[in-house]
Structure 1
Amino acid sequence: MIEILSVLVEEHALAGLFIASFLASTILPIGSEAYVVLLISKGFSILPVVMVASIGNYIGACTTYYIGIRGRQDVIEKYFSISDEQLKKTDRLFARYGSFLLLFTWVPIIGDAITATGGIMKLDFRIFSFYVFIGKTARYAALAYLTAGTLMFFQ
């Protein structure tokens, strides 16, 4: 069984990472970080891993933004498990920190609420995209380089 999983990961590695990263930023409370660590530990190049994870996670965030911009509060609460209180809290954070808050859409629990609030507030999509993509890429790059450094340390 472990051999089968290993073959699946190796043959569909980047596609699987894209799907996991996308879902992690939308409706499923999963993390894609373990997949990033797994691929790097299997010798995959850091740059493609970081870019695929970042793009998948960014597109997932765009999905949440779009649902927010369409004003679908019912969808946000039901499928994204983001409460009205979380949205109000992130609204206050936007009032305090502005668009820079979008750099932290990767943070567990509040990240999806930040993304949805950005949509609800109808933030300019170019500004949304810039900060979200930078934040997500920085997170995956840091994770990848920490993983690679740790692997080199223990060899």
Structure 2
Amino acid sequence: MEAWFESVLALLALPKFGLSSVFLVAFVSATLLPMGSEPFVFGLVKLNPELFWSAILVATAGNTLGGALSWAMGYGAERAYERVKHKPMELHALQWLERFGAKACLLAWLPVVGDPLCAVAGWLRLPFWPCVVYMAIGKFARYLTMTAALLWWFPGGL
């Protein structure tokens, strides 16, 4: 078992498989699992500065696909459970999301509420492709801002 675990770690090790690792971590962190992918992006860019834009784009793609999966899970959950009784606060949040529609998915980058937001967008049957486009824009802006800021604040490393 220990040898298997070491082989998995070696497979995901930076920088040899850095971009695939960043994609996988970004994808998983966009689901409802509590995980952040920014440290992985920062680590790869710190070890390989020439991969800055590649890492940003790969992380954005992985995180957006993870958000799309959350959307699909919400859509499937809503179809399985057509009617639900909502508390007033839940109704207010759902009305807000319905009012802004797919554009609300720009906020999918937010910690804590961003990933469930994608699932709720699916639950409300907001249009898939516009939601994915808005998710991608928000997630790209987050990765670009976070990675650039970390590189600026820690130019010599952590």
Place the TM-score, normalised by the shorter chain, in its bin. Answer: 0.7 to 0.9
Identify unmatched segments of 5+ residues in structure 1: 75-83
Read off the aligned partner of 1:50 and give its amino acid letter: I
Contact kept, 8 Å, 1:41 with 1:147, in 2: the verdict is no
Residue among 107, 110, 127 paired with 1:107: 110
Cα 1:52/1:95, change in 2 over 3 Å: same
Q: Residue in 1 aligned with 2:55? A: 49
Contact kept, 8 Å, 1:64 with 1:116, in 2: the verdict is yes
Q: What is the number of equivalent residue pairs in this alignment?
A: 142
Read off the aligned partner of 1:40 and give its amino acid letter: V
Following TM superposition, where does structure 1 have runs of at least 4 consecutive aligned residues deviating by more than 6 angstroms? 84-87
TM-score by length of 1: 0.78
Cα 1:46/1:122, change in 2 over 3 Å: same
Identity between Structure 1 and Structure 2 (%): 25
Contact kept, 8 Å, 2:31 with 2:70, in 1: the verdict is yes
Q: Which has the larger radius of gyration?
A: 2
Contact kept, 8 Å, 1:87 with 1:114, in 2: the verdict is no
Whether 2:46 is the aligned partner of 1:35: answer no
- RMSD (CA atoms): 2.7
Tell me the CA shift for residue 10 of structure 1: 1.2
Residue among 131, 136, 140 paired with 1:133: 136
Read off the aligned partner of 1:51 and give its amino acid letter: L
Tell me the CA shift for residue 151 of structure 1: 4.0
Q: Residue in 2 aligned with 1:79? A: none
Contact kept, 8 Å, 2:109 with 2:139, in 1: the verdict is yes
Q: Residue in 1 aligned with 2:13? A: 8
What is the correspondence of 1:74-89 to structure 2 with a 5 Å cutoff? none
Tell me the CA shift for residue 152 of structure 1: 4.2
TM-score by length of 2: 0.77
Tell me the CA shift for residue 73 of structure 1: 8.5
Q: Residue in 2 aligned with 1:124? A: 127
